[in-house]
Structure 1
Amino acid sequence: MTARLHRAAVPAGLDQPVTPDQVGIVHLGIGAFHRAHQAVFTELAARATGERGWGILGVTQRSASVRDQLRPQGGVYSVVTAGTRASSLDLVGSVVDVAWPAEETARVLAAIAAPTTHVVTLTVTEKGYCRAVGGDLDVDCVGADLATLAAEEAGDGTGAASTSAIGLLVRGLAARRRAAAAARDRRPITVLSCDNMLDNGHVLERLLRSAVEAALPAAAASELLHWLAADVAVPCSMVDRIVPATTAAQRDAVERELGVRDEGLVVAEPFRQWVIEDRFAGPRPAWEMAGATLTADVAPWERAKLRLLNGTHSLLACAGRLAGHETIAQTVGDAAIAARARRLLFEDALPTLTPPDGADLTAYGESVLERFANPATGHTTVQVSSDSTQKIPIRWGGTIADRLAVGVVPHGAAFALAAWSELVRREAAGGRSVDDPRAGELRAIVAAAGAGDPAQAAPPDVACALVALPGLLPDAAGTDERLVDAILAEVDGLAAR
C-alpha cells in the first residue's frame, strides 16, 4: 500500500508547506472550493509574511469524508492548477485539522470561542444558509440548534451535535461571548461569507440576528444582539475560481508523480479572485499579499461576477444538459449554445453593470467563456444545474428585472429560463428526481400541467408555471408578457429537438 502524503514527510522537489502554530481561522464548509481558494490565499499570505498564527480548523458539514481525507495527512494536501496547456502542483499546509460536527461540535464551539481565533469563514453553498423562499431564516431548518442555543445560554451545557451551519455559527458566537464575559475581556471576531450570494455579508448578518431572536427570550436575545453589533463584523466578499470535483484518475496520477497517496487533492483552474470588504473586527491574514483585493464596496464586483460568470455557467449547464453534453467545456464547444451564452453575457447582463474601478468587464466577459472551455476543469452540467431555484434569483433575476425596467427583453436570459424549464419538465416526466431544494414544488407543477400525469405536461404550460414560481424572479418578472413570450418561443424550439 502506498504511503499517505503528510506534512512530516514532504516528497522531494516540492516546497515545504506552511506549518501553522495555532488556529486563527475556523472555516465552515471545507469542501474542494475552500481548499483551492481561501486556504490557498491564506497559505500564500503566510509564506509572504512569515506569520504562522493563521492555521485553519476546517469544519465539514455533510459527512466525515474530508476529515478522513485530511486528518491522516496532518492537514496537508496538494493543489493541481490545471491550465489548457500546462499544469502545476503545490502543497498547502494552512489547514491544521478538520472537524465533523456530528461527532465534534464541542471542539468547533471551543475553537470559535478561543481568543486566538479571529476569523470565521464560510463556504456552505446558498442552501446552507437555511433561508425560506422569501429570504428570511427558515427556523425549522435550524430548529434543533436554536433549541440547544437556548439551553446553552441558560447554563445547560447540553453538548448536542449541531445540525446546521448557521446554527453552529450562532452557537459558536454565543459561546465566544460567554467566554469573553467569564474572562472579562473583549473577543471581537470577523465572520466572512465566501458564498455566491449578493450582499452575502449583509444576508448572513440578518440571519444571525434572526436566529438569536427566534431562540432566546427578549432580554437574553437583546444582550447577545448587542454583543454581535459591537464585537462581530460581517463583511461581504466575492470569490471566483473554478474547482471541479476531484476524480480517482487525478488522484492516481498525482500518486504516480509524488510517490505518495493524497486523498485530499483538489484541482483548479489558474484563475483565482477574492474581493473582500475591508471591514474587520480584529486581526486578519495579509490576504492582499496573495492577490486578494480589499475594497470599501464589494457590490460592483460581486454583481458583475454573479451576472456574467455565474449566470453564464447556469445557462451552459441547463442547455448543455438538455443537449446531452456531460461537461461545461463540451457545451462551450456547441456553437448554438455558445451564441446564446454570449447574448446573455454581452446583450443582457453587461449593460446592467457598473464596472468597479480598474475593471474591464468586456474583457472579463470574454475570459468567462475561455475559462469554461478549459477541459481540465471538468465541471459537469449535472453538477452546475443542480439547486437551480437557489441560483436563478441571484444569477439571472437581477439582469432580467433591470432589462425589463428599461423596456428591453433579455433574450439570452429567456433562453436560459426556457432551458431550465424544459430540463425540469423532462426530468419529472421521466420519473427522475429533480436535484433542487424545491423539488417537490417543481414536480407538482409539472404534474399539474399534465392533469396529474407529468409525462403529459405540455412544455409551454410547464414553462409558464415554473417561471411564475414565487421567489424565483423579482418584480413580477415571471408573469411579464414580454418575457413570457420570449421564453415560450425558446421552449418551442428546445422541445422540438
Structure 2
Amino acid sequence: MASYKLNSENLSKFSGSAAIPAYDRSDVKVGIVHVGIGGFHRAHEAYYTDQLLHKEGNKDWGICGVALLDFDQKIYQTLKDQDGLYTLIVKELDGTLTKTIVGSIVEYLFAPENPAAVIDKMAHQDIKIITLTITEGGYNYNEATKKFDFANPLIQHDLENPTTPKTIFGYLTQALKARKEQHLKGVAIQSCDNVQGNGHMIQNMLLSYVEKAAPSLVEWIHANVTFPNSMVDRITPATSLVDISALKENSGIDDAWPVVCEPFKQWVIEDDFAAGRPAWENVGAQFVADVVPYEKMKLSLLNAGHSVLGILGALKGYATIDEAVHDPAISQFLKLYMDIEVTPVLGNLEGVDLKSYKHSLIQRFGNIYIKDQIDRICSETSAKLPIFILPTINAQLKESGSVKLAAFVIAAWAIYSLGFDENGNPLVIKDALAEVLHQKAIEAKNEPKEFLSIESVFGDLKKSEVFVNAYRESYDDILKHGVEKCVADLNNEILNKI
C-alpha cells in the first residue's frame, strides 16, 4: 500500500483509512495551553477536544502543546513536522483497530528552545485554561515533609533565573505575573495527572513557590486563578515500532509517533473555571461538584492495580501487563487486594457500581492487544506508590484493618529494586530515586526495614509495628521461596479465612 507522510497537505488522502478532522483547522483559535504533550494527553484531553471541535461553536478551544523538558524535543519535532497531527489507534478488545487522526493541537512550542515564547503564550489574553500532564513526580512534593521541595536544583535555578525557567512552577509564575501586569483575566490551571486532589496539589505547590519567588502575586492568584480537580482514565501504553510500521503498511499513514490506547476513557472534572471552559460534557466528560470519590476509587484500584501487576509481574519475568493479569495467582492476588484492603476504605461512592468497576479493570488489564509494557508501569514507582498505595495502607492501619497484601507488594518492590527478576535477568529501573532505591534494597538484604527508611516515599510508615511485621514476613518469604509460591500461598491463606 502506498504511504504518505502525515501532515495537513496529505490529510485528505487518509479519509479512507482513518477518521480525519472535518473542521477547518486554520480557523481554530488556541484557548488552551497544555504542558506535557505525551501519549496520555494525546489519547485523552486532545482527543476529547478534537471531538468537540467537530461540533458547531467550539473553534476557540484549540490546544497549544508545550514540550517542557529537554528530552521532550522528539515529540515537539514530530508534531512540528506533522503540523500537530497524529493518529490515535484504539485497540478494541476483539483486536480490531479504530483509527482517528486528531487535529486539536494547532500550535506547539519547545520550552527549552524559547522560554519567553511559552511564557508569552500562557499570558496571552486568548488563553483561558492551562492544563498539565507533568507526571506524579512533577509536582515537587516531598512525602516526608508534606511540603514543596525547595532543595530541588531545578527549583533553585528558577528562583535565581526567573525569565529562563526549567520547571512548570517557574513558567506559571512568570505567566501569571504578566497577566496581572497587563490587567488580563485569570485562568484555570487544570491538572490531568494521577494525583489525588490534583487541582489542590498544583494550587498548593504553586503558591508555595510563588510565596518565595513573587510574593506580591499571591493575592492576585487567590482572586483570579482556579484549580479544578479532575480524574482521568485511559490506559495508554508506549507506542512501539510495530505500531508505527503496521499503521504505515496497512493504512498508508506515515506517522512518526502515533498513540495507541484502550477503548475505555473517562474524565471527571470539577466545574470551577475562572474564564470559561469547553463543553467537554458534550463529548463524554462529566462535570461534577466533587471529584474526590471518583479519583480515590480510580487511583486506589486502577493505578494501584497497575503497580501491583507491574511489580509482581516484573519479578516473575513478564514483559507486559496482560501477561501478568492472565497469571491466575497474580490475578487472584489483585482481586483480593482490591476487595479486602482497598474497598473498605473507599468511603461513600454513591451511584458507582464498585463490583462492576473492579470486574471491568481485570478485563481492561487483560486486553491482549494493548501490550502495556511492565517497565513503563514500574517507571517512577517512588512517585506513584505514595499516591496509589500508601493512602490505603494508612487508612487500614488507622482502622486496625488488613495490610498484609499491600505489605507484600512493598516487600516485592524492595526485592525488585535489587535490579533482577527471579530468573536472574536484569530489570530496567526508571526512577528519579533509582540509586537510592538500589542502595536501600541492598541494605534491606541484611535488615529489611531499611528499605522503608526512604522518608520521601514512605513517610513515617517504618514506625508502624503492624506494617513492618507484615512487610518483614513477606520480604523473607519472597527471598526464600520466590514470588510465585508466596503469592499462591497468601491467596490460599486468605481464601480459607473468607
Shared fold (TM-score, shorter chain, > 0.5): yes
1:166 to 164, 169, 176: 169
1:340/1:415 contact within 8 Å kept = no
Q: Secondary structure of 1:472's match? A: helix
1:6 corresponds to which letter in structure 2?
Answer: N
Q: Secondary structure of 1:437's match? A: coil
2:192/2:230 contact within 8 Å kept = yes
1:180-215 Cα offsets, whole Å, 9 max, x none, are 2xxxxx312100001111111111111111111222
1:206 aligns to what? 204
CA distance in 2, matches of 1:265, 1:64: 16
**Residues 279-294 of structure 1 aligned to structure 2 (within 5 Å):** 279-294=272-287
1:189/1:233 contact within 8 Å kept = yes
2:122 to 100, 112, 118: 112
CA distance in 2, matches of 1:273, 1:433: 30
1:305-357 Cα offsets, whole Å, 9 max, x none, are 01011111101100100000001110001111111111111111011113433
1:440 aligns to what? 435
Q: Secondary structure of 1:284's match? A: coil
**Residues 302-451 of structure 1 aligned to structure 2 (within 5 Å):** 302-427=295-420, 434-449=429-444
2:457 matches 1:472:
yes
2:28 corresponds to which letter in structure 1?
Answer: D
2:54 matches 1:70:
no
Report the TM-score, using the length of structure 1 for normalisation: 0.89
Gaps of 5+ in 2: 483-498
1:494 aligns to what? 478
Q: Secondary structure of 1:276's match? A: strand
Deviates more, 1:349-358 or 1:291-300: 349-358
Q: Secondary structure of 1:142's match? A: helix
- Structure 1 residue 421: Cα displacement: 1.3
CA distance in 2, matches of 1:375, 1:135: 39
CA distance in 1, matches of 2:55, 2:414: 48
1:314 corresponds to which letter in structure 2?
Answer: S
2:112 to 102, 106, 125: 102
2:263 matches 1:267:
no
Q: Secondary structure of 2:189's match? A: strand
2:35 matches 1:28:
yes
Q: Secondary structure of 1:285's match? A: coil
Q: Secondary structure of 2:112's match? A: helix
Gaps of 5+ in 1: 150-157, 181-185, 450-456
Q: Secondary structure of 1:440's match? A: helix
CA distance in 2, matches of 1:435, 1:319: 16
1:144 aligns to what? 157
2:238 aligns to what? 245
Deviates more, 1:19-28 or 1:125-134: 125-134
CA distance in 2, matches of 1:253, 1:135: 46
CA distance in 1, matches of 2:167, 2:109: 14
Identity among equivalent positions (%) equals 33
> How many aligned residue pairs are there?
466
1:147-197 Cα offsets, whole Å, 9 max, x none, are 233xxxxxxxx5x3x3112222222222222232xxxxx312100001111
1:16 aligns to what? 20
CA distance in 1, matches of 2:15, 2:55: 22
1:222-248 Cα offsets, whole Å, 9 max, x none, are 3x1111111111111110000011111
1:3 corresponds to which letter in structure 2?
Answer: Y
- Structure 1 residue 403: Cα displacement: 1.4
Q: Secondary structure of 1:386's match? A: coil
